[in-house]
Chains A and B, each alone.
Chain A
């Protein structure tokens, strides 16, 4: 069991981060804190993806001295996928923050429950 955990320590940490972010989404009422939780979940996914491409004893996929053998470099594909994820996460975060600003301007509160209650009253 301990060996199994040791082998998958990156995955386990990313799962823990994901769950922490999800708990943040559920338990916090403040919209800013919810957005932070979503960003923690994003980070967990990056960690999971990036660690899948890692191969022990090999270097980053930047060609040195013209060596182009598969034995020398780690898998470059997860790095590219993580880049896509980061860009999308930045865009989504900006959009959510702007919506939060609108919400604050209308209801003068960042508390989601309070704002929902106010909007139901109208």
Chain B
């Protein structure tokens, strides 16, 4: 690989290579494929041999059904008050594990924001104008900073707002190649079918998500799955009604404070036990009758916190990928 693609080659040679097949020589290609196939077969053989030595699935005598699982099942209801044993396990016995998961989601949001943020401090006011229909009278052209590679293609990124008429868009579309057109060209605007369906279905989705979150200790579900459903509802709302409407209740500030607040509540609710010897996780809240919605102490609160974090994370992933900022 080094030999064929090293710096010794001049640009013409490299170009020929690129045009021949994906930039790599054929010899390397075939060697790579053969080696990959051998590796895959070896991996498959190794794993199958391992699997056939494992205990068969479905028997109670298997070594993984040990005293830990028995303890969770036998005294989980009594100690945590949660009918759903898995929920009681992950939000009471192993609450720190779940706190770590929420933090992983939070850190992933931050990383994606760092990777995809389009507007620096200087450009943010420009981007704000774009959302305003009256402000967009002419097409704004902005040079993409990353595209000065050797072909000399200087892709011109063109931003258009909602105020630009359809004929103007079509005209613009014809005069530019696919690469140079901003992705906002292909977004539906005021799609009637989508909006009518969304009006009907979004309340159902949101109510169902809230139900899953609030019933996390009673039935299958909990903060993660319910939060994902709520986030999907927000994403559908964004697809149907656009950023202008969605920003009334989901903007960067709201997402920041909701995520921060939820993580802070979770942290305060569970980390005090470090100061009391890290031995017990008593909450002091009465456990209530098993099966009632207001039962199982802290688990309901923690489920709501996790649900808020997950919903905000899902929405911000989508918004970041779509337009470069939340």
Contact = CB atoms under 8 A, between A and B. Distances in A.
Interface of A: 4, 7-12, 15-16, 18-19, 22-23, 26-27, 29, 51-56, 58, 60-63, 66, 68-73, 75-80, 83-84, 86-88, 90-92, 94-95, 97-99, 101-102, 105-108, 111, 113-114, 116-118, 120-121
Nearest to A64: B83
6 contacts: A19-B43, A52-B64, A62-B85, A66-B77, A75-B64, A105-B146
B14 A117 contact: yes
Given A15-B47, A101-B115, A55 B85 contact: no
A19 B57 contact: no
Per CB-CB distance, the 4 closest pairs between chain A and chain B, nearest first, are: A91-B108, A7-B56, A61-B85, A56-B58
A80 B111 CA distance: 26
Contact of B86 (A7, A61, A72): A61
Interface residues of B, number: 71
Contact of A4 (B52, B64, B85, B321): B52
Contacts of A55: 58-60, 62, 65
Given A26-B40, A105-B146, A90 B105 contact: yes
Interface of B: 5, 7, 11, 14, 17-18, 22-24, 33, 36, 39-40, 43-44, 47-48, 51-52, 54, 56-60, 62, 64-65, 68-70, 72-78, 83-86, 89-90, 94, 97, 101, 104-105, 107-108, 111-112, 115-116, 144, 146-147, 149-150, 153, 155, 179, 218-220, 224, 290, 317, 320-321
A63 B51 contact: no
B85 A73 contact: yes
Contacts, number: 182
Given A63-B77, A77-B68, A95 B111 contact: yes
Q: Interface of chain A, helix or strand or loop or mixed? A: helix
A121 B74 contact: no
Given A8-B52, A52-B57, A77-B68, A97 B108 contact: no
Contacts of A4: 52
